[in-house]
Amino acid sequence: MSQDTTAHHDDHHDDHHSAHPTGLTRWLFSTNHKEIGTLYLVFSLAMFLVGGAMALVIRAELFAPGLQLVNPEFFNQMTTMHALVMIFGAVMPAFVGLANWMVPLMIGAPDMALPRMNNWSFWILPFAFTLLLATLFMPSGAPASGWTLYPPLSLQGGNSLAFVILAIHLMGISSIMGAINIIATILNMRAPGMTLLRMPLFVWTWLITAFLLIAVMPVLAGAVTMLLTDRFFGTSFFNAAGGGDPVLYQHIFWFFGHPEVYIMILPAFGIVSEIIPTFSRKPLFGYTSMVYATASIAFLSFIVWAHHMFTVGMPLGAMLFFMYATMIIAVPTGIKIFNWIATMWRSSMTFETPMLFALGFVVLFTIGGLSGVMLAIVPANFQYHDTYFVVAHFHYVLVTGAIYSIMAAVYYWLPKWTGHMYNEKLGKIHFWWSTVWVNVLFFPQHYLGLAGMPRRIPDYAVQFTEFNVISSIGGFMFGFGQLLFVYIIWQCVRGGEKATAQVWEGARGLEWTVPSPAPLHTFDTPPVVDDSVAVHKDSLT
């Protein structure tokens, strides 16, 4: 970020180490994994704020029963866009940005395997989101059928559907290229001695996530393309009157949608598995079992999709299969949670901000996991499905799961990126503020859902008022608290206490052997890795 480079005007050797373009072209034409990683992360932060603003519109309308601030059409656009922006704009690019920055540093590679494609996979995203957000200003308004775009409802909308579908295609292309790049990098560019089972767990989880991305993003592309032809070219894939079936869309969509859930949580498992050992000053407990558990979760994620659609009227046998397969996921997830506890067991821990967010992740993600088990139970799901219980469940998984892990990662690696320590005191305030209010925000939604409040409604029965008021207050406090996060990052980029190469006392691994801030080019000469450098020893064997 703060590079001491002298600009060479009119030069034709931009790729030479000492010469580097400045200004806009530095970012536009960059093929450097660190700069592209930074672009991804900044983009993700911007989308996090946009999506967050939409969430505040939703919570403001739900502060009281009745219709007050926005009309139902706009409310529905907000729920739809909030989901699309947060999933495809905030969470996924943040993980790709972290992979860009850290995977080459962790495996001792000089850069990503395909640097020019790397540039392209990022620069597609601003176009995709321009298309998506532009629909807000179109006469027909943004899409308002929910982010799942179920037909026939999604086909009733205006031309904005075409914009959304094109935006989804662009995001998909970007994700697939990013995934190919990560797989190629991990499989081909590891330093000598960095065997697969010496790789840090963050690298392992991303390798598996990348395969999931390549497997399911084309499925989503297929589903939305069929929507496009149904809407504009007179086909009948999902049109019952023409011989199609709207349930087919739901099957295809969730065949993408469930692995997508793990695309957003496996890298989070990897991050937490890096941070907890560092601040426990102990190697990760059960490293190999963590790798196998991750792979099992990835496999299982392909055979559970129909648990999102138990109420469409399935045979009991099919429901029991999907219910049981879903609950089996609790086993590898349980292994992970107990491995993290075992890592902390009898260790000498300290609680810097990254560790706080990682511990917050372990505890709060577990709540999301347990409500997930409740949702998987077939007869119970008939009551919980499409209620606020589901909303509470997936926000525990995505906000206190995925987003908390991203925040933990940012605090953990920010000194390596910027060369400065962030303000520890503000970081701790950010953690405690967020943790208190995120629970005020989402915990009451469990009660709302169990009592019977459906999701995606701008107005509700008066019996639900109290909990909605509490939830909205939590939402606003949590939301505005994130401005502190932006301020802490800004402050850290600008200056602060100099960070050492090691940064954290207990940190192990190749990324801590390069100076802070990491120079633009690292590991031009591959390091030699042996057990003394390897991050994790398998304490099971």
Within positions 335 to 364, which residues make up the interface with other proteins, using CB under 8 A? 335-339, 341-342, 344-349, 359, 362-363
Q: Which of 45, 55, 90, 144 binds other proteins (CB under 8 A)?
A: 144
Please report how close the Cβ of residue 515 comes to other proteins at its closest, in angstroms. Answer: 33
Of 83-91, 167-175, 377-385, 420-428, which part binds other proteins (CB under 8 A)? 377-385
Cα separation values, 288 from 196, 339, 537, Å: 11, 11, 9
Active site residue 336: yes
Q: Which of 241, 490, 524, 525 binds other proteins (CB under 8 A)?
A: 241
Site for other proteins in 297-326 (CB under 8 A): 311-313, 316, 319-320, 323-324
Site for other proteins in 469-508 (CB under 8 A): 470
Of 171-179, 182-190, 447-455, 529-537, which part binds other proteins (CB under 8 A)? 447-455
Q: Any idea of the CA torsion for 429, 432, 437, 440, to the nearest 10 degrees?
A: -160
What is the C-alpha separation between 84 and 148, in angstroms, rounded?
9
What is the C-alpha separation between 128 and 144, in angstroms, rounded?
18
Active site residue 34: no
Site for other proteins in 30-49 (CB under 8 A): none
Of 41-49, 415-423, 451-459, 500-508, which part binds other proteins (CB under 8 A)? 451-459
Q: Which of 231, 258, 393, 508 is catalytic?
A: 258
Active site residue 471: no
Please report how close the Cβ of residue 530 comes to other proteins at its closest, in angstroms. Answer: 24
Q: What angle do CA 521, 522, 525 make, to 5 degrees?
A: 115
Ramachandran angles phi, psi of 237, nearest 5°: -55, -45
Active site residue 175: yes
What is the C-alpha separation between 411 and 191, in angstroms, rounded?
26
Active site residue 536: no
Ramachandran angles phi, psi of 327, nearest 5°: -70, -25
Please report how close the Cβ of residue 458 comes to other proteins at its closest, in angstroms. Answer: 5
Length of the chain, please? 541
Q: Which of 336, 416, 420, 446 is catalytic?
A: 336
Active site residue 494: no
The residue count for binding other proteins (CB under 8 A) is 83
Active site residue 140: no
Active site residue 412: no
Cα separation values, 478 from 46, 436, 483, Å: 17, 8, 10
What is the C-alpha separation between 321 and 376, in angstroms, rounded?
11
Query: How many other C-beta atoms lie within 10 A of the C-beta of residue 134?
Result: 13
- For other proteins, give the closer residue by CB, 345 or 487: 345
Q: Please, which residues bridge with residue 475 across strands?
A: none
Active site residue 258: yes
Q: Which of 456, 502, 506, 533 binds other proteins (CB under 8 A)?
A: 456
Q: Which of 273, 280, 516, 522 is catalytic?
A: 273
- Asked whether position 266 contacts other proteins by CB under 8 A, the answer is no
What is the C-alpha separation between 520 and 2, in angstroms, rounded?
10
Q: Which of 40, 147, 422, 460 is catalytic?
A: 147
Site for other proteins in 155-174 (CB under 8 A): 156
Q: Which of 42, 153, 426, 520 binds other proteins (CB under 8 A)?
A: 153
- For other proteins, give the closer residue by CB, 455 or 521: 455
Amino acid sitting at position 200:
P
- Asked whether position 288 contacts other proteins by CB under 8 A, the answer is no
Of 118-126, 444-452, 481-489, 527-535, which part binds other proteins (CB under 8 A)? 444-452
Is the Cβ–Cβ distance between 289 and 314 less than 8 Å?
no
Read off the DSSP letter of residue 399. I
- For other proteins, give the closer residue by CB, 268 or 276: 276
Q: Is 200 helix (H, G, I), strand (E, B) or coil?
A: coil
Please report how close the Cβ of residue 341 comes to other proteins at its closest, in angstroms. Answer: 5
Identify the CA nearest to 448 among candidates 465, 435, 432, 431.
465
Active site residue 537: no
Q: Which of 59, 198, 231, 308 is catalytic?
A: 308
Contacts of 115 (CB under 8 A, 6+ apart): 31, 32, 33
Contacts of 327 (CB under 8 A, 6+ apart): 373, 376
Active site residue 308: yes
Site for other proteins in 69-98 (CB under 8 A): 72-73, 76
Determine the angle formed by the axes of helices 246-263 and 201-232, rounding to 10 degrees.
Answer: 160
Active site residue 346: no
Of 95-103, 327-335, 479-487, 519-527, which part binds other proteins (CB under 8 A)? 327-335
Q: Please, which residues bridge with residue 498 across strands?
A: 420
Contacts of 466 (CB under 8 A, 6+ apart): none
Catalytic residues: 82, 111, 147, 174-175, 258, 260, 262, 273, 307-308, 333, 336, 455
